[in-house]
Amino acid sequence: MIVIRSWKYRIYPTKEQEKEFQFYLYECKNLWNFLLEYTKEHYEKTKRFPTRKQLYTLTKKKTKLFSQVSQNVADKLVKALKGMFATKKKGGKVGFPRFKPTERMKSFTYPQFGFKLNKQLLLSKLGEIQIKKHRELKGKIKTLTIKRVPSGKWCAVFTSEVEITPRCNKGAKVGIDLGIQNFGYLSNDSVIINPRHLRKAENKLKQAQKSFSGKKKGSKNRRKAKLRVARAYEKVTNNRRDFLHKTSRKLVNSYSLLAMEDLNVNGLSKGFLAKHILDCSWAEFREMLHYKAEEAGSEVVLVNPAHTSQECSSCGLIRKKTLAERWHNCSCGAIMHRDLNAAKNILKRALGLSLGDRHSGSKQATRGRGEVKPAEKMPLPL
Ligand SMILES: [Zn+2]
């Protein structure tokens, strides 16, 4: 079985190379806006979108970018337009793709060639760039994206095709209830605890945020504070990702079936930061489970999340609980931790689903936090 994997490495451009990178981002932004403007006008006149080929021809005239990079900008626009149509078809509200200001253009992509990875990273027109390969890249490299992160660092993200042989997994089946107090509660009464170092890093982030919002707008101190927030944020997300990798690896190796709630992560909360990070990490966790499960011969099943904590896992009776009620205490005599009850319901639902009804995610799994598709609603199993 061939699967796509992504590999992220830190790169260290020189001052001149960094200027070139900035220039590339700037040009990509201009090109995006130009193509979008053209598309809008074309649509108003003809009620049709320009073809990919038409856009490609335009990119040639318009920029000094490496051709593959500029064609990728056109590809991204085509993808955005298709996405817009797909959402409209489903009845969702969505507008045209938007014009981008400079700070919104954070990456550029080489979809096929124009780069080479040896000890250094060689980029067409840009030269050799220092790269730190902290882990070995496996498989046949397909694409490269150069990315600027908010703390000002640069990364190279490769995707590659990797051949895997799924293992035979004889582990037990388990339901997982993801939570806030604990990271997760398993239907076999074990708990995944949020690591303490993570909470420490999150507290630091909160402090940095507070200090930032107290600084005067436009001041030098505010700029500095903003960078501190970006660094603290990066640290938190890196620590979290590390924890998620280890946890997901352990789970797929230990269990042959992992059932989870099908949460709609499309509407990621934009409210307060801690909640936002939590939502993102759940989405990321599910995605990691999906692709790690493929190799570990384990299956991830997403179930309808309705009433998982209200329903009794022993007798099926539904009784409303407030968030403060930590125990499930049913008239049938079942007494257990609220999250254990939920985890048991999640597993029950997964086992009750016929094969056709399951979405074992792997087909639907998407890469990247921003691209997680809205979860489809499923009927309750009887
Ligand atoms: Zn009961």
Å from CA of 312 to ligand 1 middle: 5
Å from CA of 308 to ligand 1 middle: 13
Å from CA of 328 to ligand 1 middle: 9
Closest listed residue to residue 82, CA positions, set 58, 57, 52: 52
The yes-or-no answer on residue 189 being catalytic is no
The yes-or-no answer on residue 261 being catalytic is yes
Å from CA of 176 to ligand 1 middle: 20
Residues 6+ apart with CB under 8 A from 186: 174, 175, 176, 192, 343
The yes-or-no answer on residue 75 being catalytic is no
DSSP string, 270-288: -SSHHHHHHHHHHHHHHHH
Rounded distance between C-alpha atoms, residue 285 and residue 251, angstroms: 11
Q: Which one of the listed residues 27, 294, 311, 339 is annotated catalytic? A: 339
Structure-derived torsion over alpha carbons of residues 28, 33, 37, 39, reported in degrees to the nearest 10? 50
Give every strand in the sheet of 154-163, ordered side by side. 107-110, 140-148, 154-163, 2-12, 127-132, 121-123, 115-117
Q: Which helix (H) or strand (E) holds 176?
A: strand 172-178
Å from CA of 372 to ligand 1 middle: 35
Note the pLDDT of residue 278: 67
Å from CA of 322 to ligand 1 middle: 17
Supply 296's token pair.
Answer: 């570990």
- Domain ranges in the chain? 2-163, 172-371
Å from CA of 334 to ligand 1 middle: 6
DSSP assigned state of 359: B
Note the pLDDT of residue 280: 67
Rounded distance between C-alpha atoms, residue 32 and residue 42, angstroms: 15
Note the pLDDT of residue 142: 94
DSSP-based three-state secondary structure for 243: helix
Supply 336's token pair.
Answer: 């257990």
Å from CA of 193 to ligand 1 middle: 27
pTM (whole model) above 0.75: no
Rounded distance between C-alpha atoms, residue 154 and residue 171, angstroms: 41
Closest listed residue to residue 251, CA positions, set 363, 164, 361, 173: 173
Q: Which one of the listed residues 27, 261, 294, 311 is annotated catalytic? A: 261
DSSP-based three-state secondary structure for 371: helix
Å from CA of 316 to ligand 1 middle: 6
Note the pLDDT of residue 104: 84
For the chain, residues with pLDDT lower than 70 are: 264-280, 353-382
Å from CA of 344 to ligand 1 middle: 12
332 within 8 A of 317, measured Cβ to Cβ: yes
Å from CA of 330 to ligand 1 middle: 5
Å from CA of 382 to ligand 1 middle: 16
| Ion ligand 1: residues, CB < 5 A | 312, 314-315, 317, 330, 332, 334
Q: Are strands 255-261 and 299-303 parallel, antiparallel or unpaired?
A: parallel
Note the pLDDT of residue 277: 63
- CATH ID of 172-371, from 1.25.40, 3.30.420, 3.30.70, 2.60.40: 3.30.420
Backbone φ and ψ of 172, nearest 5°: -75, 170
Number of H helices, E strands in the chain: 7, 14
Å from CA of 185 to ligand 1 middle: 19
Supply 241's token pair.
Answer: 């990702």
Q: Which one of the listed residues 27, 177, 279, 311 is annotated catalytic? A: 177
